[in-house]
């Protein structure tokens, strides 16, 4: 029993250590442009949830569809020239 627990714990720690993150990348854009576009796309995504679901703050408060608003956010960022890249 203890051995199984230790193996599971080691596997979880190993996976967490290997976890890669993603970040938004755009050629010749600075951190200020990234922040601005993120704010605008967050607003657009939450507005999209409001229009589609009829409840303010969809996706942020748990009352709306997170996948719907996150998809809208991603499409907005991509339409502004950003792309996701995995970083180790």
Query: What tens digit of pLDDT does each residue of 43-87 get?
Result: 888 876 544 444 434 444 444 456 667 888 999 999 999 999 988
Distance CA 57, CA 88 (A): 32
pLDDT at 88: 72
Q: What is the pTM of this model?
A: 0.57
More confident: 18 or 32: 32
Query: Which tokens belong to 2?
Result: 């203890």
Distance CA 83, CA 3 (A): 43
Distance CA 67, CA 75 (A): 12
pLDDT at 47: 73
């Amino acid at each position: 029993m203890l051995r199984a627990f230790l193996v599971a714990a080691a596997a979880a720690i190993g996976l967490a250590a290997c976890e890669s993150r993603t970040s938004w990348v755009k050629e010749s854009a600075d951190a200020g442009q990234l922040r601005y576009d993120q704010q605008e796309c967050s607003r657009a995504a939450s507005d999209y949830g409001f229009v589609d679901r009829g409840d303010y703050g969809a996706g942020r408060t748990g009352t709306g569809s997170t996948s719907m608003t996150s998809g809208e956010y991603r499409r907005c960022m991509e339409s502004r020239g950003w792309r996701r890249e995995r970083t180790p």
